[in-house]
Structure 1
Amino acid sequence: MPATPPESPAPGGIGLFEKWLTIWVGLAILAGIGLGALFPAVFASLSRIEYASVNLVVAILIWAMIFPVMVQVDLSGLSRIGRQPKGLIITLVVNWLIKPFSMALLAVLFFETVFARFIAPDDAAQYIAGLILLGAAPCTAMVFVWSQLTRGDPNYTLVQVAANDVIMIVAFAPLVAVLLGVTNIVVPWDTLLISALLYVVAPLAAGTLVRRMLLQGGTVSGHSRLDRFNARIKPVGMAGLLITVVLLFGFQGNVLLERPLVIAMIAAPLLIQTYGMFVLAYGAAWLWRVPFSIAAPCALIGTSNFFELAVAVAISLFGINSGAALATVVGVLVEVPVMLSLVALANRTRSLFDRKET
């Protein structure tokens, strides 16, 4: 039997623009806060363009971020996932057996002990609820961006996200109900299903169609066209990310300005949880000799949150002005800069995995 040719690394990675992406994101955050303060009516109007608690403007921008990655997905390669199940196992264990419970423990520790003297009990309970919602919702959309920035295997990333989505439909409501101590929790299933459709199904279908069109007419010429297309469309994904950050901070910038101390308190357990889950998943992948192209996305998927769903559920259960909704919004605010720092850490430690494989 002839040897299987080695797979080429996924296109992407850290280029000149991505190298300074943290700076651009920082500027986008400042721009969002400033524009939100100067033009509150504009951002209020944009925030109302939604269906089933899914903001359609943000959905389009996230779609733009994901589509360039989906063009790289070779569906014929999905059959090879079973040969390397370790990354998927780590992702599922971290996301469903560890992360929700560790987030709940950290939330209780900080708001019933560490910060108890500074916060009223009713407010503390609300913040705990919001953090639990974040911890129980593994990321769906932004993971594709983090995977691309680490040159992750796009096919494997797709499988990991799809597996999380399937489990989330079944497990999210009962898991949150147990952690919140609520027996009649109402989850906006239309939000969950529409989000999966917008953030996974639609861009995957479009990316697959474009890929097939570009690859027609011969292997060499087809892949040349595909490479040129990917090079041209890559800036669209980065622009989508930056504009999304501007919008999110424009929507919520007033909260940052009005309640900075509360924001810092909520961010503290979130930061510990995020970095802790990354170290756990990334370390497990290294010890288990998982290839870097799978290990990095695997750890990032186990780290980030499906903040769209968490915000929607918090608003549905507790109200738009509740402490729970505020906590989920803080999750949005810390997500991008923290995940970018973890992307940079993963790329700097790639050599550890390379040596492990040799």
Structure 2
Amino acid sequence: MPVTTAPEATAETGSRSPVKLSMLDKLLPVWIGLAMVAGLLLGRTIPAFGPALDAMSIGGISVPIALGLLIMMYPVLAKVRYDRLDTVTSDRRLLASSLVLNWLLGPAIMFALAWTFLPDLPEYRTGLIIVGLARCIAMVIIWNDLACGDREAAAVLVALNSVFQVLAFGLLGWFYLDLLPGWLGLTQSGLDVSVWTIVVNVLLFLGIPLAAGFLTRKLGERAKGRTWYEDRFLPKIGPIALYGLLFTIVILFALQGDAIIGQPLDVARIALPLLVYFALMWAGSFALGKTIGMGYERTTTLAFTAAGNNFELAIAVAIATFGVTSGQALAGVVGPLIEVPVLVALVYVSLWARRFFTAKQLSSRQATR
């Protein structure tokens, strides 16, 4: 599960060569667990810490969380070989599968789970539906990299999700929170979200680190060559991704420590449909990729990009529409608190599942068209 060692694709097969993991990588679940505990302790033992973090927000977006995500994503996007993106964009089955999973099945499954598990809690139900509409364009990058997925494919799919996020988020919000409940005779809160909120979210959480990663590779290879860039430079910046991840987790748990500890039953009720959702989306997507003949790396990328959600956008929309203390906002916050440990566990499941792929299917350059 390499973060600091950053193994690269070999010229012959395109698959990543195995390396010995550092102690930092081997103990990743421990570091994440400690980050969660540290966040909770900070939020509970220093009363002014949470309000101070809340004050550092612009347009409903937490500046500390944004900073942590940008630090986390930059090294991973700097590893992408942008001159190979055409091998992904020409893979029609991968692109079509991702669009169907993210924009047809994902929101529909979350809608069904929200109404099944939370029929008597409309605020939490609405918050979960908003989470289901916000497809992941940020943290999924690091889960994919930890599971040795296809970096180039991940870059293309999150960019594709970004485009559809701008075009479809508001429309799907109207469909799932207004139109469909009316057809089914259900009562549901509506959603009023500006396109500008979505555009800002996309530019901030994908545009900035993507541009930084692209320029770093372009300028680095031009100055020193690809061998120096991948063998010398990338291993030096690799640990930054983990530090950004741990920082983000600490901030998230510090911000919501009171809600997590003070409303454990509510958090548990919100968590249950989320657990089912992540399991269904990941397992179904992984099975689909394997069934239609994708190699391990692109199957893994398909699974993680379908299972993850853009909690930054979901929280920002919930706060802007319903208020910072609303049940909708709490449901949005519980999303990443459940997603982080679950998807970390799925990283290990994914690496274990490599045994079910042939040697040829372990190559990211295997033709899947």
Q: What TM-score comes out, normalization by structure 2 length? A: 0.87
Equivalent position to 1:131, from 128, 131, 135? 128
Alignment of 1:33-182 (within 5 A): 33-112=40-119, 121=120, 124-181=121-178
1-structure distance, mates of 2:262, 2:289 = 41
Instruction: Tell me if the contact between 1:9 and 1:153 (Cα under 8 Å) persists in the aligned partners.
Output: no
Aligned to 1:193: 199
Tell whether the 8 Å contact from 2:68 to 2:244 is kept in structure 1 after alignment. Answer: yes
Cα deviation, 1:167-224, whole Å, max 9, x if unaligned, reads 11111111111111169732143332222122222112222222123223565xx413
2: CA distance between counterparts of 1:167 and 1:135?
14
Residue 231 (structure 1) aligns with:
235
Counterpart contact for 2:109–2:277, Cα < 8 Å: yes
Q: Is 2:288 aligned against 1:295?
A: no
2 CA distance for matches of 1:68 and 1:84?
25
Cα 1:14–1:353 change in 2 (3 A) is: farther
Tell me the equivalent position of 1:310: 314
Task: Find the aligned partners of 1:218 and 1:270 in 2 and give their Cα distance.
Answer: 46
Per-residue CA shift, 1:83-138, capped at 9, x if unaligned?
A: 423222222111111111111111111122xxxxxxxx4xx111110110011111
Local SS of the residue matching 1:9: coil
Deviations 1:37-57 (A, max 9, x none): 122313311222122211122
Secondary structure of 1:281's partner?
helix
Unaligned runs of at least 5 residues, structure 1: 113-120
Q: Distance in 2 between matches of 1:193 and 1:13?
A: 41
* 1:248 partnered with 2:255: no
Do 1:13 and 1:149's aligned partners in 2 also have CA atoms closer than 8 Å?
no
- Distance in structure 2 (CA, Å) of the matches to 1:259 and 1:326: 10
Partner of 2:182: none
CA contact (8 A) 1:11 1:151 kept: no
Moved more, 158-167 or 85-94: 85-94
Q: Is the 8 A contact 2:89 2:95 kept in 1?
A: no
Q: Distance in 2 between matches of 1:15 and 1:179?
A: 45
Pair 1:218–1:42, CA change in 2 (3 A): closer
CA distance in 2, matches of 1:211, 1:10: 21
Tell me if structure 1 keeps the 8 A contact 2:177–2:191.
Answer: no
Q: Which residue of 2 aligns with 1:118?
A: none
Rate the CA distance shift 1:101–1:245 in 2: closer, same or farther, 3 A: same
| Cα distance between partner residues in 1 of 2:101 and 2:221 | 37
SS of residue paired to 2:156: helix
Residue 239 of structure 1, CA deviation? 0.7
Count of aligned positions: 343
Matched, 1:349 2:346: no
1:141/1:200 contact within 8 Å kept: yes
Residue identity in the other structure for 1:77: R
What is the distance in 1 between the residues matched to 2:20 and 2:141? 12
Q: Distance in 2 between matches of 1:13 and 1:298?
A: 26
Helix, strand or coil at the partner of 1:327: helix
Q: Following TM superposition, by how much is the alpha carbon of 1:17 offset from its aligned partner in structure 2, in angstroms?
A: 2.1
How big is the alpha-carbon RMSD for the aligned residues of Structure 1 and Structure 2? 2.2
| Paired amino acid for 1:167 | F
Q: Distance in 2 between matches of 1:310 and 1:355?
A: 40
**Cα offset for 1:225?**
3.6
Residue 330 (structure 1) aligns with: 334
8 Å contact from structure 2 (residues 110, 129) kept in 1: yes
- Using the alignment, how far apart are the partners of 2:293 and 2:247 within structure 1? 37
Matched, 1:18 2:25: yes
Letter in 2 for 1:313: V
- Does the 8 A contact of 1:62 with 1:241 survive in 2? yes
